[in-house]
Amino acid sequence: MILLVHWLLTTWGCLVFLGPYAWANFTVLALGVWAVAQRDSVDAISMFLGGLVATIFLDIIHISIFYPRYGLTDTGRFGAGMAILSLLLKPFSCCLVYHMYRERGGEFLLHAGFRGPSQEHSAYQTIDSPEVPSDPLAGPETKGHTPQGY
């Protein structure tokens, strides 16, 4: 449903905004088709999510620079309105796609280093020995043994 709505709004938005607007949005929609086709792929849904987030910023820039100020017909106003509506719906779509990303087993990795050790690293063992030898020059073969004859 997300793909259909954004495809329709992008198509109508292309009545006014051509070129980079169309390329960016239709490329992200192609990533969305890939995410639908491969339902078990975390990569496909993460690429679609990243593309949606990127097009939010790209659409803001594109609409603000190329919005026609003069001579806008009714069709032009309709197309610009649909492009703006698509932009307004994208954060909501990102939330839905993020929920699908989590269902497919994706993890939120932006703050992974700040949360402390994770479950994956629980089997980590240090190679340092917990006890320090009394004689730092003694090798492992003489440690704890006294030479015979002494």
Residue 107 — very low, low, confident or very high, per pLDDT cuts 50/70/90?
Answer: confident
Average pLDDT over all residues of the chain: 83
pLDDT of residue 105: 86
Determine the pLDDT at residue 140. 60
Judged by average pLDDT, the poorest of 56-60, 104-108, 146-150 is 146-150
**pLDDT greater than 70 at residue 118:** no
Question: Is residue 102 a contact partner of residue 46, using CB atoms and an 8 Å limit?
Answer: no
Identify whether the C-beta of residue 38 lies closer than 8 Å to the C-beta of residue 44: yes
Structure tokens at 68: 């026609």
Q: Per-residue pLDDT for 114 more than 60?
A: no
Closest to 19 measured CA to CA, from 62, 75, 81? 62
pTM: 0.69
For the chain, the helix, strand and coil percentages under 3-state DSSP, each to the nearest 5:
60, 0, 40
Which are the contacts of 28, defined by CB distance < 8 A and separation ≥ 6?
Answer: 48, 51, 52, 54, 55
| Opening angle at CA 7, ends 2 and 13, nearest 5 | 125
Q: What is the mean pLDDT of residues 79-100?
A: 95
